Amino acid sequence: MSYLDNDRLKQMGFLLLVVFLALLLFMELYTFFPGFLGAVTLYVLCRKWMFRLVENRKWKKNLAAALLMVSSFLIILMPIGMLVNLLTAKVAYAATHSTELINSVKAANEHVQQTIGIDLLSDQRLQKLQEGITAFLPGFLGATFNTLTAIAIMYFILYFMLVNGRKMEEDLYEYIPLKEANVERLGKEFNTLVFANAVGIPVIAIVQGVISLIGYLVFGVPQPMFWFVITCFTAMLPVVGAAAVYVPLGVYLLAAGSTWQGVAVLVYGFGVVGTSDNIARLLLAKKIADVHPLITIFGVIIGVSLFGFIGLIFGPLLISMFILLLQIYSNEYLVKRRDLNKREVLKRDVIRKDKEDDQR
Grade residue 62 by pLDDT with cuts at 50, 70 and 90. very high
Average pLDDT, stretch 53-80? 89
Average pLDDT, stretch 225-229? 84
Separation between Cα atoms, residue 215 and residue 224, nearest integer Å:
9
Mean pLDDT (the chain) is: 76
Domains of the chain, residue spans: 32-175, 182-348
pLDDT digits (tens, 9 = 90+) for 288-338: 666 677 777 777 778 777 766 667 777 888 888 888 888 887 777 766 555
Q: Which residue has the higher pLDDT, 316 or 360?
A: 316
How many other CB atoms are there within 10 angstroms of residue 80's CB atom? Answer: 16
- Please tell me the least confidently modeled range out of 97-111, 125-139, 191-205: 125-139
Share of the chain above pLDDT 70, in %: 69
Residue 2 is predicted with a pLDDT of 47
Enter the DSSP assignment of 30: G
Question: What residue type is 348 in one-letter code?
Answer: R
Separation between Cα atoms, residue 111 and residue 119, nearest integer Å:
10
The most confident of the ranges 4-8, 102-106, 257-261 is 257-261
Grade residue 1 by pLDDT with cuts at 50, 70 and 90. very low
How many other CB atoms are there within 10 angstroms of residue 146's CB atom? Answer: 16
Who contacts 321 (Cβ-Cβ below 8 Å, separation ≥6)?
190, 193
